[in-house]
């Protein structure tokens, strides 16, 4: 009897470990199935739109014509009223105004990489780069790229799922000397050449005096064709300045991620390295 109970327990544990180990495989399978569905929908929509292309072009031509007429009318109206507006602007410029102090530029280039090794049945590797152009304690814009590599080994076979995450419109104002807020829009492109719009929000706090670097961010990539989320991710980091020069900094520390890909959840804890050049 005891032997039977031992066999049953071992079998249940084996099923549980197998289910936990095949996270990346499930994600890859669901991503591939979603890509096939989207491809089929694109083919059917393109074939149905061919018949209505003539009417659509006539409508587009009418819209463009009306827009052009409005622009021309606006230009001539602007020319007619230019004399009065220029006189009023001349009076305003004559008023003495004290010049506002210019804010100092605060551009930087950043490279970062993180490796999640816990839990040990799959690995997460995420290198990336960011460029910010803006003012110190003022408005800024940034461009952000990240290579996202999920991997696991099942029965001596390596299974992976790869995405390229690009934030091409990202607002990055500095609210103080130490805190930067980021909010942006871009897309997630996976290995099946599918593009999913992605929204990002987060903040980063760097203190020159204590040498610590804290931050967190949330990413949401949606599939609007069926109302599902291709990915929902929340990450955070705590790092310490290994090199703390005014124009060059290197941080090292812990990074955590909790994510859901097509309804399949996974998490990771690992190490991260960040290099920033001002």
Q: What CATH number is attached to the domain comprising 178?
A: 2.40.160
How many domains in the chain?
2
**pLDDT tens, residue by residue, 179-196:** 999 999 999 999 999 999
Look up the domain containing 75 and give its range.
58-93
Specify whether 83 is located in the same domain as 112: no
Residue-wise pLDDT tens digits, 85-108: 444 555 555 455 666 677 789 899
Count of other CB atoms within 10 angstroms of residue 36: 11
Angle at 115 between CA 244 and CA 14, to 5 degrees: 155
Point out the residues of the chain with pLDDT beneath 70.
1-21, 49-100, 208
Question: Residue 162 is encoded by which pair of tokens?
Answer: 């790869």
Answer yes or no: is 24 within a domain.
Answer: no
What pLDDT, on the 0 to 100 scale, is given for residue 133? 96
Tell me: do 181 and 273 sit in the same domain: yes
Indicate whether 11 belongs to any domain.
no
Q: How far apart are CA 158 and CA 228, in angstroms?
A: 28
pLDDT of residue 98: 61
Are both 83 and 183 inside the same structural domain?
no
> Shortest CA distance to 123 belongs to which of 243, 270, 276?
270
Q: Are residues 64 and 164 in the same domain?
A: no
Residues 80 and 149 in one domain: no
Burial bucket for residue 134 (CB in 10 Å: 0-12, 13-18, 19+): buried
Question: Are residue 82 and residue 117 in the same domain, yes or no?
Answer: no
Q: What is the pTM of this model?
A: 0.76
């Amino acid at each position: 009897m005891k032997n039977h109970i031992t066999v049953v327990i071992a079998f249940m544990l084996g099923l549980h470990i197998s289910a936990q180990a095949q996270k990346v495989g499930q994600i890859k399978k669901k991503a591939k199935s979603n890509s096939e569905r989207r491809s089929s929908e694109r083919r059917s929509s393109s074939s149905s739109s061919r018949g209505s292309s003539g009417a659509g072009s006539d409508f587009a031509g009418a819209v463009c014509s009306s827009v052009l007429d409005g622009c021309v009318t606006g230009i001539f109206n602007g020319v007619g009223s230019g004399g009065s507006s220029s006189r009023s602007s001349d009076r305003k410029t004559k008023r003495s105004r004290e010049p506002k102090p210019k804010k100092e530029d605060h551009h930087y280039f950043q490279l970062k990489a993180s490796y999640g090794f816990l839990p040990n049945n799959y690995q997460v590797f995420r290198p990336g780069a960011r460029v910010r152009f803006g003012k110190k304690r003022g408005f800024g814009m940034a461009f952000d790229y990240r290579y996202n590599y999920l991997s696991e080994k099942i029965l001596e076979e390596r299974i992976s799922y790869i995405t390229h995450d690009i934030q091409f419109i990202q607002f990055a104002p500095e609210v103080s000397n130490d805190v930067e807020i980021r909010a942006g829009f871009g897309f997630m492109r996976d290995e099946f050449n599918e593009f999913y719009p992605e929204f990002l929000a987060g903040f980063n706090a760097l203190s020159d005096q204590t040498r610590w670097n804290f931050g967190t961010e949330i990413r949401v990539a949606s599939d609007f064709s069926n109302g599902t989320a291709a990915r929902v991710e929340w990450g955070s980091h705590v790092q310490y300045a290994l090199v703390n020069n005014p124009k060059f900094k290197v941080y090292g520390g812990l990074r955590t991620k909790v994510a859901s890909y097509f309804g399949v959840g996974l998490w990771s804890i690992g190490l991260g390295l960040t290099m920033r050049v001002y």
